[in-house]
């Protein structure tokens, strides 16, 4: 999706790596990149401005969670606000359809030609049928007989009922006749597909407004193609002014879209995005999930997974405690060493960790045998477990005899115990050098 956003953010995350906190100045740099990326992706300027202001406010107020670098933390804030921009702030009910109308509940479909209105009508019919609703569809597109036939075809494919209409009828009459039929045949839902044009057109707007006034639908859904950019904003504005929209359906999200429409449409209409079209097939409709969409727009699954874990507080307290201990002159002992190893394991193990890294790192790491590395960590933990508490607190006590006992206890060779002790020594030396402040930094490095 918003490739540039991903690239720009990644760049800033990298440059912010050395810094300890989110500040006015390092945040400003990142926000500049976010702003540019959003504008490049055709997000409307007012939406961008509002978005940036919110992210800034949140970012400066946000505690950077122990394990995250400020760059990663900022990505987390951007994700949350993107989700909010696309409707997460409205709660999960926002994407639901209302049936609070004397049966049938009427759904009016609005949008330009080619956006996927008819296909989406079929998809909705299928979706509702799966909820055990008796569904009737009708086409008020009297300009294109092919459109009526297309709706009939998709309706039959999903096993819903179809109310026939012809090019000689008037849209309002068609809608009223279908409504009458639906009432008589106890349909729960009537979906009215309408005529689209290639561009906004006064006559079309009047026509759909007249249909709206005649049947008073409980849902008026604006269908918009996610592949179009700025134009989507103007169309959304025009439809929103002509009709009391209740929601938006974004189609073609499976395509190679820049996603700007997804971000602006909610801002422009103030209406929730209820569904997303994700394929040409009739089962390709999903309830819109703002948080998931935000992840997708960001395209930074790696960092977001880390943010998610940090939010869950994966032993970050332990890391902070360890850092404090060393800072105040405490010793980095075997228990600390094990805590660090365990932390790596908790983060989903080495291979789990690998999944969270960006693709280019994954490729680079593909050469290394991750299973092997994971096994190694497990064995090292086993060795530490075979030590007495005293040995763990004072590893320098561990001489030949003790090494043999520990190796036997852990079921490994003495060489392996030696290797582990060497690794511990190296870590210990590093710890002394880093003196705590650097420890957190190192852990961050380990995570991202």
**Sites of contact with ligand GDP (CB under 6 A):** 113-119, 196, 251-252, 254-255, 277-280, 284
Do the annotations mark residue 254 as ligand-binding? Answer: yes
Give min distance, CB of 47 to ligand GDP, in A: 23
| Helix axes 414-434 and 370-385, enclosed angle (nearest 10) | 90
Do the annotations mark residue 76 as ligand-binding? Answer: no
Q: Is 361 helix (H, G, I), strand (E, B) or coil?
A: helix
Do the annotations mark residue 362 as ligand-binding? Answer: no
Q: Which two tokens stand for residue 447?
A: 């995570």
For ligand GDP, the closer of residues 108 and 322 by Cβ is 108
Tokens 């912010």 locate to 16
Do the annotations mark residue 385 as ligand-binding? Answer: no
Give min distance, CB of 234 to ligand GDP, in A: 17
Tell me the C-alpha distance between 141 and 243, whole Å.
17
Do the annotations mark residue 113 as ligand-binding? Answer: yes
Give min distance, CB of 286 to ligand GDP, in A: 10
For ligand GDP, the closer of residues 73 and 97 by Cβ is 97
Q: What does 195-242 look like in DSSP terms, one character per residue?
A: ---SS--HHHHHHHHHHHHHH--SEEEEEEETT--HHHHHHHHHHHHH
Give min distance, CB of 225 to ligand GDP, in A: 8
Q: What does 140-154 look like in DSSP terms, one character per residue?
A: ---S-HHHHHHHHHH
Please give the span between the terminal C-alpha atoms of the chain, in angstroms, as a whole number: 22
Do the annotations mark residue 411 as ligand-binding? Answer: no
For ligand GDP, the closer of residues 149 and 430 by Cβ is 149
Report helix, strand and coil shares of the chain as percent, to nearest 5.
60, 10, 30
Give min distance, CB of 227 to ligand GDP, in A: 9
**Cβ proximity of 339 and 424 under 8 Å:** no
| Helix axes 400-410 and 370-385, enclosed angle (nearest 10) | 120
Cα 121 to chain centroid distance, Å, stands at: 26
Do the annotations mark residue 115 as ligand-binding? Answer: yes
Give min distance, CB of 250 to ligand GDP, in A: 8
Do the annotations mark residue 225 as ligand-binding? Answer: no
Closest CA to 59 of 79, 43, 74, 38: 74
Give min distance, CB of 284 to ligand GDP, in A: 5
Residues, the chain, total? 448
**Cβ proximity of 96 and 219 under 8 Å:** no
**Cβ proximity of 407 and 417 under 8 Å:** yes
Closest CA to 54 of 231, 267, 233, 260: 267
Closest residue to ligand GDP in the complex (CB): 277
Do the annotations mark residue 269 as ligand-binding? Answer: no
Give min distance, CB of 192 to ligand GDP, in A: 13
For ligand GDP, the closer of residues 100 and 198 by Cβ is 198
Do the annotations mark residue 388 as ligand-binding? Answer: no
- Alpha helices of 16-138 — where are they, by DSSP H? 24-40, 45-61, 70-85, 117-130
Annotated binding-site residue numbers for GTP = 111-118, 193-197, 251-254
Q: Known binding site: residues? A: 111-118, 193-197, 251-254
């Amino acid at each position: 999706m918003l490739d540039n956003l991903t690239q720009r953010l990644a760049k800033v995350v990298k440059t912010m790596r050395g810094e300890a906190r989110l500040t006015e100045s390092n945040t400003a740099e990142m926000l500049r990149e976010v702003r540019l990326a959003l504008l490049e992706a055709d997000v409307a300027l007012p939406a961008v401005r509002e978005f940036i202001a919110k992210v800034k406010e949140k970012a400066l107020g946000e505690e950077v969670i122990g394990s995250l670098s400020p760059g990663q933390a900022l990505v987390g804030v951007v994700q949350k606000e993107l989700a909010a921009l696309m409707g997460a702030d409205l709660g999960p009910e926002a994407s639901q359809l209302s049936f609070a109308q004397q049966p049938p509940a009427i759904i009016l479909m609005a949008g330009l030609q080619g956006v996927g209105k008819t296909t989406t009508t079929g998809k909705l019919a299928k979706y509702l049928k799966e909820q055990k609703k008796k569904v009737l569809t009708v086409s008020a597109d009297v300009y294109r007989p092919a459109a009526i036939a297309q709706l009939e075809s998709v309706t039959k494919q999903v096993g819903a009922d179809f109310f026939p209409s012809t090019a000689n009828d008037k849209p309002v009459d068609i809608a009223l006749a279908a409504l009458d039929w639906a009432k008589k045949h106890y349909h729960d839902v009537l979906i009215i597909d309408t005529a689209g044009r290639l561009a906004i057109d006064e006559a079309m707007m009047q026509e759909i407004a007249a249909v709206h006034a005649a049947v008073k639908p409980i849902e008026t859904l604006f269908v918009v193609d996610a592949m179009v950019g700025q134009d989507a904003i103007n169309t959304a504005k025009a439809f929103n002014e002509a009709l009391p929209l209740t929601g938006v359906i974004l189609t073609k999200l499976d395509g190679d879209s820049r996603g700007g429409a997804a971000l602006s449409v909610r801002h422009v209409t103030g209406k929730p995005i209820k569904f997303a079209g994700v394929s040409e097939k009739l089962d390709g409709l999903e309830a819109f999930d703002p948080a998931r969409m935000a992840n997708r727009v960001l395209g930074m699954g790696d960092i977001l997974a880390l943010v998610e874990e940090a939010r869950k507080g994966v032993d970050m307290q332990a890391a902070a405690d360890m850092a404090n201990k060393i800072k105040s002159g405490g010793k980095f002992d075997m228990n600390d060493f094990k805590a660090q190893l365990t932390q790596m394991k908790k983060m989903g193990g080495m291979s789990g960790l690998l999944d969270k890294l960006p693709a280019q790192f994954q490729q680079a790491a593909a050469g290394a045998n991750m299973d092997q590395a994971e096994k190694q960590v497990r064995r090292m933990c086993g060795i530490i477990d075979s030590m007495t508490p005293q040995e763990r607190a004072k590893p320098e006590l561990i001489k030949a005899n003790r090494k043999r006992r520990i190796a036997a206890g852990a079921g490994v060779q003495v060489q392996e115990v030696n290797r582990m002790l060497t690794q511990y020594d190296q870590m210990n030396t590093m710890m002394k050098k880093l003196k705590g402040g650097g420890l957190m930094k190192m852990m961050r490095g380990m995570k991202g």
